[in-house]
Amino acid sequence: MRILLAPMEGVIDAQMRAVLTGLGGYDRCVTEFIRVTEQIIPDHVFHRFSPELKQGGLTPSGVPVYLQLLGGNIKYMGLNAASAAKLEPQGIDINFGCPSKTVNNSDGGSVLLREPQRVGEIVKAVRDAVDPSISVTAKIRLGFANSDLLEDLADKVIAGGASELAIHARTKEDRYKPPAYWNKVKSIADRSTIPVIINGEIWNPEQAGTALGESGCNDLMLGRGALACLDLAANIQAQQNGQAYTAMTWPEVLTVVVGYLRSTENRHPMFVSNRGKQWLVFLQMHYPEAKAVFHQVKRLKRAADVFAVLETNLAASLPLTQSPSLIKLSTKAY
């Protein structure tokens, strides 16, 4: 079983990939989507989305990162894949799942799920444009309004030459509402000639086991669950291998959050407070302690004020003697 870290625009950036893959359990990451219009994307944009390109397309802990392209123009998807390929990414993933109105109105993301033929042609254009050593993968949902075209979509993705297919087991209309319909992926996974990766609504190791079982997939992709429970991938790997696992404690988690936010201090002045609050919202799903901290930071704007709250909470939650693993986490440079 492999575990992939899902692409999440505005949430999982390079520093977050470094943090999460550093905690173990992940086999691959995908960048936030890079929008393709009728223009050639300059190299610096690819480097901005994936600073890992300067390190062989790997996170600091050696996990491959694929660039994700999003767009409906077959010719420009191919041309931009060719220019991305010159930077030697580990792979290129194509986004056919984004439900955003802005994205869909500009002919990209899940709106393309209504046109399996074009999905296949985009995959083929990207595949033909890049060296065979670079993997090309696709990410879809079950469909746009229903899953009637799912088989056709999967067939076209495979015929287009993709080496793997990730399926977010909801339609565009379902957006992010639970449940995810893992069992609807089974007929695809059972007859697919390429690996199919199950995604959607996996928040704990038990759900991971059920998602794998119901979908018939061997691999899974974690999105919001990865941000709610920082060591979810390592925990799932341990459970799947029948090994005991000691979950991260709240002080360990808070230490990682502070370390991540410190690594982003050179960005927009509001970045620390916005990302800090956003992450605390995800963390509340798994750590009850995150709720109180969120309430203390929710009206703060300045990075220094946010850090003061986080560090006060961290000091209060620490045992008198720090555990060796905590010292390691707090001194780790992301």
Can you tell me the distance from the alpha carbon of 271 to that of 256, in angstroms, rounded to the nearest whole number?
A: 17
Half-sphere exposure of 133 (CA within 13 A, CB side): 6
Q: Which of 4, 6, 103, 258 binds ligand FMN (CB under 6 A)?
A: 6
**Count of residues near ligand FMN by CB under 6 A:** 23
- 314: nearest Cα among 239, 262, 275: 262
Which of 91, 251 has the CB closer to ligand FMN?
A: 91
| 225 interacts with ligand FMN by CB under 6 A | yes
Q: How far is the CB of 32 from ligand FMN (least distance, A)?
A: 5
217 is an active site residue: no
Q: What is the C-alpha to C-alpha distance for residues 281 and 133, in angstroms, rounded to an integer?
A: 40
Distance CA 157, CA 143 (A): 13
Distances (CA, A) of 256 to 43, 189, 231, 260, 271: 31, 36, 11, 6, 17
Q: Is 172 in the site for ligand FMN (CB under 6 A)?
A: no
By beta-carbon proximity to ligand FMN, the closer residue of 189 and 222 is: 222
Q: Is the bond into 179 cis (omega within 30 degrees of 0)?
A: yes
- Are 8 and 223 a contacting pair, CB within 8 Å? yes
The rounded distance, in Å, linking the Cα atoms of 16 and 263 is: 10
The CA dihedral of 89, 90, 91, 92, to the nearest 10 degrees, is -30
- Shortest distance (Å) from residue 223 CB to ligand FMN: 3
Both structure tokens of 293: 């901290």
The correct pick among 35, 124, 172, 224 for binding ligand FMN (CB under 6 A) is: 224
* Sites for ligand FMN among residues 125-154 (CB under 6 A): 139
Is the CA virtual torsion 29, 48, 119, 86 positive or negative? negative
The residues in 52-111 that bind ligand FMN, with binding defined as CB under 6 A, are 68, 95, 97-98
- Of 9 and 152, the one with the shorter C-beta distance to ligand FMN is 9
Sequence-ordered list of residues with C-beta below 8 angstroms from that of 134, at least 6 positions apart, any chain: 85, 88, 89, 90, 91, 92
User: Per CB under 6 A, does 219 bind ligand FMN?
Assistant: no
Closest residue by beta carbon to ligand FMN: 223
Catalytic residue among 29, 98, 217, 229: 98
Question: Can you state the angle between helices 289-297 and 271-283, rounded to 10 degrees?
Answer: 150
For ligand FMN, give the closer residue by CB, 97 or 160.
97
Residue 11 CB, nearest distance to ligand FMN (Å)?
5
Considering beta carbons, is residue 213 or 312 the nearer one to ligand FMN?
213
252 touches ligand FMN by CB under 6 A: no
- Least distance to ligand FMN, CB of residue 78, Å: 19
Rounded CA-CA distance 138/75 in Å is 17
176 binds ligand FMN (CB under 6 A): yes
Binding segment toward ligand FMN, per CB under 6 A, in 52-60, 77-85, 149-157, 223-231: 223-231
Report in angstroms how near the CB of residue 272 gets to ligand FMN at its nearest: 18
The verdict on 167 binding ligand FMN (CB under 6 A) reads no
Q: Which residues sit at the interface with ligand FMN, rule CB under 6 A?
A: 6-11, 32-33, 68, 95, 97-98, 139, 168, 176, 199-202, 222-225
Catalytic residue annotation: 98
